[in-house]
């Protein structure tokens, strides 16, 4: 995902939309995707243990 940066016309300061509620800093995956994949992995390994 690309995040658009904005420049203040008065002071020249740059800023961008805060996405920390969706994505951790320096992360390529959303928090929701990480949570869902952890859930699926734990379900899979739980079922695998029952088969053994």
pLDDT tens for the chain, residues 1 to 52: 677 889 999 999 999 887 878 888 888 888 899 889 888 888 877 766 666 5
Per-residue pLDDT at 12: 93
Residue ranges per structural domain of the chain: 28-52
Distance CA 16, CA 6 (A): 6
Per-residue pLDDT at 25: 80
Query: CA Rg, the chain, in Å?
Result: 19
Paired with 5 in beta bridges are: 16
Backbone φ and ψ of 32, nearest 5°? -65, -45
Per-residue pLDDT at 48: 60
Dmax of the chain from CA atoms?
67
In this prediction the pTM is: 0.52
């Amino acid at each position: 995902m690309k995040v658009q940066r904005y420049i203040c016309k008065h002071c020249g300061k740059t800023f961008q939309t805060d996405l920390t509620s969706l994505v951790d800093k320096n992360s390529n995956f959303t928090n929701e995707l990480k949570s869902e994949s952890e859930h699926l992995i734990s379900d899979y390994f739980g079922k695998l243990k029952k088969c053994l």
